[in-house]
């Protein structure tokens, strides 16, 4: 099934607390934590020499993901 950008927002339901919670029960903070763990795993794989032909592109992606997650974490804390 193809999802349009607006479809994601329709699936989200704000909880009665300060952060959004999704239908599967994962809060925004938990999602950010999972993404940080995935980023750490990717960095570990790159440092271990995995995917040498994609290393530069994946390292750039990892840096951008890190910046995005830091910005999201700051906004979450500011609420």
Chain segment 24-54, per-residue pLDDT in tens: 678 999 999 999 999 999 999 999 999 999 9
Q: What is the pLDDT of residue 5?
A: 47
In angstroms, what CA-CA distances link 57 with 10, 40, 53, 60, 64?
33, 16, 9, 5, 11
Across the range 42-67, mean pLDDT stands at 95
Whether residue 19 has pLDDT greater than 80:
no
Q: The pTM is what?
A: 0.65
Q: What is the pLDDT of residue 26?
A: 85
């Amino acid at each position: 099934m193809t999802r349009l950008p607006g479809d994601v927002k329709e699936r989200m339901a704000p909880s009665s607390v300060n952060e959004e919670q999704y239908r599967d029960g994962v809060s925004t903070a938990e999602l950010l934590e999972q993404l940080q763990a995935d980023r750490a795993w990717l960095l570990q794989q790159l440092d271990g020499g995995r995917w040498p032909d994609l290393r530069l592109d994946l390292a750039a992606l990892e840096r951008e993901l890190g910046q995005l997650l830091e910005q999201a974490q700051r906004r979450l804390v500011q609420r």
